[in-house]
């Protein structure tokens, strides 16, 4: 890197020494080229200029399982906020749609296969970043863990780290990784990180704890190379945002984000019922309304899944209390409620009913477990599968741009042309603000600024 400075005094600070050059007699430019000083004739400006760097170079990182670049955005935010210079020297993702969006935003083409990256020919770098695939460990997945080929991709991180020995690794995964397989997964990860020469510190984070209206529990792994470790825990900086659910909404959006006709009908049907219930009525567990009107024999009941039998048993008091209301209501909406199994399940997670309550006072998701209704302070976790939250207040799904805002991507971030791809990408992405907090806190702790 070559920088020309008009100055009468230049201080170059790096990890090892301070160099002070004074020019008092001749009009000159000072040219800094990789910490070599060259003097060239030109007009002199009477100022002191301080150039500070760590090892005299940009901080370099690689972005593994990059998705659409949540880690990359965290470093860009560092540059914007505190002028910390960094450069991504390699990205990698198997999803072609993610690679297209990544290139569109960063002008860097991600490698398509981490297993084919040759660690022996890679550029040097200071940090390895990666939200390694979470499906094998998440509640939304099948929890196959290391039986799933994606689970083994963590070992690709270790392969690269063993050879390149970066100063830091910043990794992210779902909270559930801490307990799956009787904690064998997390113990394996800890063992491999330690064996590779790093000290590990875990951080449990969620955007909603930092003033962002999305509840998204995640685990960040901060790995510090042992020869750099200073025997002190990293303390997170306390920067927070102050955004509400309304803050992330677009003022105008296409009608295509409105609820589909059947979804609208079934939500209005359930809303019609709960408005006939008493104030303070408790609504849990999940109401299985179709099961309530099926005549199971004792033998048939015994064959049902334990969770279903448990719910049906616990549903009896509310069904008995409002029997006349429910019988009439079910007869009216039976055909609709039987159209899809999820339509007959109301998973209410918004507490006891309030006066004049409505399902549209809350956030709603159509999930395999049923129609989930959640309090309206924090959006439910964005996920990679098609469960796009409905904001009851405006009676529509979130748009891709609103999902980007919930994940703290900037307004100038270029989205995929496919909404379906965008929803998946933001469901998989790391939250930029949480990631920025982790990286900034670590680098500050180790004296980078």
| Catalytic center residues | 134
130 and 209 in one domain?
yes
Residue labelled with tokens 């009216």: 332
63-79 per-position pLDDT tens digit? 999 999 999 999 999 99
User: Rounded mean pLDDT of 375-392?
Assistant: 88
String of DSSP letters for 326-381: HHHHHHHHHHHHTTSGGGGEEEEES-SPPTT--GGGSEEEEETTEEEEE-SSSBPP
Percent of the chain at pLDDT exceeding 70: 84
Bridge-based pairing of strands 127-130 and 287-288 is unpaired
Residue 411 lies in a domain: no
Q: Is the pLDDT of residue 301 over 70?
A: yes
pTM: 0.82
pLDDT at 135: 55
Nearest to 288 by CA among 322, 306, 314, 267: 314
Bridge-based pairing of strands 48-52 and 9-13 is parallel
Q: Is the dihedral of CA 437, 442, 447, 448 positive or negative?
A: negative
214 and 66 in one domain?
yes
Residue 427 lies in a domain: no
pLDDT at 225: 98
Residue 429 lies in a domain: no
371 and 229 in one domain?
no
Bridge-based pairing of strands 127-130 and 59-64 is parallel
334 and 285 in one domain?
yes
Task: Give CA separation, 99 vs 113, 234, 399, in Å.
Answer: 11, 33, 21
User: Rounded mean pLDDT of 53-62?
Assistant: 76
Dig out the tokens for 355 from the structure.
């006066």
Q: How confident is the model at residue 54 (pLDDT cuts 50, 70, 90)?
A: low
Q: What's the DSSP call for residue 177?
A: G
The whole-angstrom separation of Cα 188 and Cα 206 is: 24
236 and 322 in one domain?
no
User: Rounded mean pLDDT of 51-74?
Assistant: 84
Residue 326 lies in a domain: yes
Beta-bridged to residue 86, according to DSSP, are: 59
Q: Is the dihedral of CA 374, 392, 430, 131 positive or negative?
A: positive
Q: Which domain holds residue 29?
A: 2-52
Q: Are 77 and 398 in contact (CB under 8 A)?
A: no
Residue 420 lies in a domain: no
Nearest to 163 by CA among 129, 196, 115, 114: 196
Q: How confident is the model at residue 4 (pLDDT cuts 50, 70, 90)?
A: very low
278 and 235 in one domain?
no
Q: Is the pLDDT of residue 242 over 50?
A: yes
237 and 171 in one domain?
yes
User: Rounded mean pLDDT of 239-257?
Assistant: 94
Q: Are 445 and 235 in contact (CB under 8 A)?
A: yes
Nearest to 387 by CA among 360, 363, 406: 363
394-409 per-position pLDDT tens digit? 999 999 999 999 999 9
Among candidate residues 52, 75, 93, the one where a domain is terminated: 52
Residue 410 lies in a domain: no
Q: Is the pLDDT of residue 355 over 60?
A: yes
375 and 303 in one domain?
yes
The whole-angstrom separation of Cα 103 and Cα 106 is: 5
140 and 183 in one domain?
yes
Nearest to 393 by CA among 407, 379, 383, 405: 379
Q: What's the DSSP call for residue 230?
A: -
8 and 28 in one domain?
yes
pLDDT at 136: 55
pLDDT at 133: 86
Residue 413 lies in a domain: no
Residue 415 lies in a domain: no
What is the CA 383 to chain-centroid distance, rounded? 9
Q: Is the pLDDT of residue 416 over 50?
A: yes
288 against 368, higher pLDDT: 288
Bridge-based pairing of strands 345-349 and 370-374 is parallel
The conformational region for residue 97 under phi > 0 = left, psi -120 to 50 = alpha, else beta, is: alpha
pLDDT at 49: 34
167-206 per-position pLDDT tens digit? 999 999 999 999 988 999 999 999 999 999 999 999 999 9
Q: Is the pLDDT of residue 417 over 90?
A: yes
141 and 16 in one domain?
no
Q: Is the pLDDT of residue 15 over 90?
A: no
pLDDT at 383: 87
Nearest to 390 by CA among 208, 217, 245: 245
Nearest to 42 by CA among 78, 80, 7: 7
pLDDT at 146: 52
Q: How confident is the model at residue 25 (pLDDT cuts 50, 70, 90)?
A: very low
Number of residues that this document lists for the chain: 449
110-162 per-position pLDDT tens digit? 999 999 999 999 999 999 999 998 555 544 445 454 555 544 789 999 999 99
Q: How confident is the model at residue 55 (pLDDT cuts 50, 70, 90)?
A: low
pLDDT at 376: 86
Q: What's the DSSP call for residue 258?
A: B
Q: Is the pLDDT of residue 39 over 50?
A: no
Q: What is the CB-side half-sphere exposure of residue 331 using CA atoms within 13 A?
A: 6
Number of alpha helices (DSSP H) and beta strands (DSSP E) in the chain = 12, 18
Residues 74-96: b if buried by 16+ CB within 10 A, e if exposed: bbbbbeeeeebebebbbbbbbbe
Nearest to 51 by CA among 4, 119, 90, 102: 4
170 and 79 in one domain?
yes
Q: What are residue 208's phi and psi, to 5 degrees?
A: -65, -20
Nearest to 5 by CA among 54, 37, 85, 79: 37
- The count of structural domains within the chain is 3
Q: What CATH number did the domain enclosing 183 receive?
A: 3.40.50.150
Residue labelled with tokens 């049906």: 312
């Amino acid at each position: 890197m070559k920088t020309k400075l008009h100055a009468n005094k230049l201080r170059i600070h790096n990890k090892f020494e301070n160099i002070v050059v004074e020019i008092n007699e001749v009009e000159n430019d000072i040219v800094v080229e990789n910490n070599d000083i060259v003097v060239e004739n030109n007009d002199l400006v009477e100022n002191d200029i301080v150039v500070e760097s760590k090892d005299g170079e940009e901080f370099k990182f690689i972005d593994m399982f990059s998705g659409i670049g949540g880690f990359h955005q965290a470093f860009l935010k560092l540059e914007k906020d505190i002028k910390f210079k960094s450069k991504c020297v390699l990205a990698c993702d198997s999803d072609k749609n993610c690679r297209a969006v990544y290139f569109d935003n960063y002008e860097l083409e991600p490698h398509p296969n981490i297993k084919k990256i040759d660690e022996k020919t890679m550029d040097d770098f200071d940090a390895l970043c990666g939200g390694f695939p979470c499906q094998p460990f998440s509640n939304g997945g099948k929890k196959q863990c290391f039986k799933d080929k994606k689970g083994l991709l963590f070992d690709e991180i270790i392969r690269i780290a063993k050879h390149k020995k970066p100063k830091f690794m910043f990794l992210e995964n779902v909270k559930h990784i801490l307990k799956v397989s009787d904690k064998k997964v997390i113990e394996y990860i800890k063992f491999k990180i330690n064996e590779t020469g790093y000290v590990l510190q875990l951080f449990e984070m969620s955007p909603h704890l930092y003033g962002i209206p999305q509840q998204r529990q995640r685990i960040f792994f901060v790995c510090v190379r042992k020869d750099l470790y200073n025997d002190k825990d990293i303390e997170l900086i306390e920067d927070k945002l102050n955004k509400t659910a309304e803050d992330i909404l677009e003022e105008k959006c296409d009608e295509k984000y409105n609820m589909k006709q059947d979804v609208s009908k079934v939500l209005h049907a359930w809303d019609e019922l709960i408005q006939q219930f008493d104030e303070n009525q408790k609504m849990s567990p999940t109401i299985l309304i179709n099961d309530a009107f099926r005549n199971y024999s004792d033998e048939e009941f015994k064959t049902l899944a334990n969770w279903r039998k448990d719910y049906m048993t616990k549903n009896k008091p509310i069904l008995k209390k409002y029997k006349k209301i429910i019988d009439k209501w079910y007869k009216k909406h039976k055909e609709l409620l039987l159209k899809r199994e999820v339509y007959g399940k109301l998973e209410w997670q918004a507490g006891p009913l309030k006066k004049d309550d409505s399902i549209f006072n809350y956030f709603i998701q159509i999930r395999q477990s049923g129609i989930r209704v959640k309090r309206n302070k924090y959006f439910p976790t964005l996920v990679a599968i098609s469960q796009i939250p409905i904001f009851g207040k405006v009676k529509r799904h979130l748009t891709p741009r609103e999902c980007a805002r919930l994940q703290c991507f900037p307004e100038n971030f270029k989205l995929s042309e496919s909404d379906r791809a965008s929803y998946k990408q933001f469901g998989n992405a790391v939250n930029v603000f949480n990631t920025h907090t982790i990286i900034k806190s670590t680098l500050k702790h180790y004296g980078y600024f």
